[in-house]
A and B are shown apart, each in its own frame.
Chain A
Amino acid sequence: MIRFILLQNRQGKTRLAKYYVPLEDSEKHKVEYEVHRLVVNRDPKFTNFVEFRTHKVIYRRYAGLFFSMCVDITDNELAYLECIHLFVEILDHFFSNVCELDLVFNFHKVYLILDEFILAGELQETSKKAIIERMGELEKQE
Chain B
Amino acid sequence: MNPFSSGTRLRDMIRAIRACKTAAEERAVVRKECASIRAAISENDQDYSHRNLAKLMFIHMLGYPTHFGQMECLKLIASSGFPEKRIGYLGLMLLLDERQEVLMLVTNSLKQDLNHSNQYIVGLALCALGNICSAEMARDLTPEVERLLQTRDPNIKKKAALCSIRIIRKVPDLAENFMGPASSLLKEKHHGVLIAGVQLCIDLCKASTNALEYLRKNCTEGLVRILRDVSNSPYAPEYDIAGITDPFLHIRVLRLMRMLGQGDADSSEYMNDILAQVATKTESNKNAGNAILYECVETIMGIEATSGLRVLAINILGRFLSNRDNNIRYVALNMLMKAVTVDSQAVQRHRTTILECVKDSDASIRKRALELVFLLVNDTNVKSLTKELIDYLEASDQEFKGDLTAKICSIVEKFSQEKLWYIDQMFKVLSLAGNYVKDDEWHALIVMISNAPDLQGYSVRSLYKAFQTSNEQESLVRVTVWCIGEYGEMLVNNVGVLEMEEPITVTESDAVDVVEVALKCHSSDITTRAMSLVALLKLSSRFPPTSERIREIVMHHKGNVELELQQRSIEFNSIIQRHQNIKSSLVERMPVLDESAYIGKRAGSSQATLSADKSSQPTSSGASSLKLPNGVTKPPASPLVDLLDLSSDDAPVSTSSTTEFLHDLLGGDLISPAPSGGGGTDILMDLLSIGSPSASTDIPVPNTISSKQGNAREPKIAPAPVMDLLDGLPSRNENPVYPSIMAFESSTLKITFSFTKQPGNPQVTVIQATFTNLSSSAYTDFIFQAAVPKFIQLQLDPASSSTLPAGGSGTITQMLTVTNSQHGQLCLASKSTLGP
Contacts and interface: CB of A to CB of B under 8 A. Distances in A.
Given A47-B364, A49-B327, A126-B249, A119 B287 contact: no
Interface in B522-572: none
B248 A134 contact: no
A137 B90 CA distance: 17
A130 B192 contact: yes
Contact of B191 (A86, A108, A126): A126
Contacts of A81: 287, 291, 327
A9 interface: no
Contacts of A126: 191-192, 195, 239, 246, 248-249
A7 B417 CA distance: 56
B158 interface: yes
Contacts of B238: 127-130
A88 interface: no
Interface size class of A (residues with CB under 8 A): 35 or more
A29 interface: yes
Contacts of A128: 238
B288 interface: yes
Interface string A37-80: 00000000111110000000000000000000000000011110
A86 B251 CA distance: 15
A142 B255 CA distance: 39
A84 to B, nearest CB: 11
Given A20-B131, A23-B97, A29-B63, A79 B57 contact: no
B239 A127 contact: yes
A100 B260 CA distance: 43
B618 to A, nearest CB: 56
B185 to A, nearest CB: 14
Contacts, number: 136
B99 interface: yes
B70 interface: no
B300 to A, nearest CB: 14
A142 B82 contact: yes
B362 interface: yes
A99 interface: no
Interface in B412-465: none
Interface string B699-738: 0000000000000000000000000000000000000000
A98 interface: no
A111 interface: yes
B318 interface: no
A122 B199 contact: yes
A24 to B, nearest CB: 8
Nearest to A134: B155
Interface residues of B, number: 64
A95 interface: no
B65 to A, nearest CB: 7
A79 B295 contact: yes
Interface in A9-53: 14-15, 17, 19-20, 22-23, 25, 29, 45-49
A123 B247 CA distance: 12
A86 B57 contact: no
Given A49-B327, A78-B287, A83-B248, A142 B162 contact: no
B192 A125 contact: yes
Contacts of A15: 61
B330 interface: yes
Contacts of B255: 76
Contact of B159 (A104, A107, A111, A124): A124
A60 to B, nearest CB: 10
B87 interface: yes
A102 to B, nearest CB: 12
Given A46-B362, A123-B248, A76 B57 contact: no
Given A45-B362, A82-B287, A124-B159, A108 B97 contact: no
B58 A107 contact: yes
B130 interface: yes
A107 B61 contact: yes
Interface string B1-45: 000000000010010001000000000000000000000000000
A128 B132 CA distance: 25
Contacts of A45: 326, 361-362
A79 B162 CA distance: 19
A126 B5 CA distance: 43
Interface in B179-228: 191-192, 195-196, 199
Nearest to B134: A22
Contact of B291 (A19, A82, A142): A82
Given A115-B127, A119-B131, A126-B191, A104 B14 contact: yes
A83 B252 CA distance: 13
Contact of B294 (A47, A78, A115): A78
Interface in B51-94: 54, 57-58, 61, 63, 65, 82-83, 86-87, 90, 93-94
Contacts of A119: 126-127, 130-131, 159, 162-163
A22 B93 CA distance: 11
B120 interface: yes
Interface in B360-384: 361-365
A130 B195 CA distance: 14
B166 interface: yes
Contacts of A20: 131
Interface in A85-113: 86, 104-105, 107-108, 111-112
B162 A124 contact: yes
Contacts of B364: 46-47
Interface string A127-142: 1111000100110011
B343 interface: no
Contact of A77 (B82, B94, B192, B331): B331
A17 B251 CA distance: 26
Contacts of A111: 90, 93-94
Contacts of A79: 247-248, 251, 291, 294-295
A81, A125, A129 — most chain B CB neighbours (10 Å): A125
Given A82-B287, A108-B90, A124 B327 contact: no
B620 interface: no
A9 to B, nearest CB: 13
Contacts of B294: 76, 78-79
Interface string B301-337: 0000000000000000000000000111011000000
Interface in B236-253: 238-239, 241, 246-249, 251-252
A47 B327 contact: yes
A129 to B, nearest CB: 5
B144 interface: no
Q: Looking at A104, A107, A111, A120, which has the most chain B CB atoms within 10 Å of its CB?
A: A120
B97 A46 contact: no
Interface string B135-172: 00000000000000000000100110011011000000
A126 B194 CA distance: 10
A105 B14 contact: yes
Given A46-B326, A119-B127, 8 more contacts: A76-B295, A78-B290, A78-B294, A86-B241, A111-B90, A119-B130, A125-B195, A130-B238
Interface of B: 11, 14, 18, 54, 57-58, 61, 63, 65, 82-83, 86-87, 90, 93-94, 97-99, 120, 126-127, 130-132, 155, 158-159, 162-163, 165-166, 191-192, 195-196, 199, 238-239, 241, 246-249, 251-252, 255, 287-288, 290-291, 294-295, 298, 326-328, 330-331, 361-365
Interface of A: 14-15, 17, 19-20, 22-23, 25, 29, 45-49, 76-79, 81-83, 86, 104-105, 107-108, 111-112, 115, 119-120, 122-130, 134, 137-138, 141-142
18 contacts: A15-B61, A22-B98, A46-B364, A76-B291, A77-B331, A78-B291, A78-B327, A81-B287, A86-B241, A105-B14, A107-B61, A108-B54, A111-B94, A119-B163, A120-B162, A124-B159, A137-B120, A138-B120
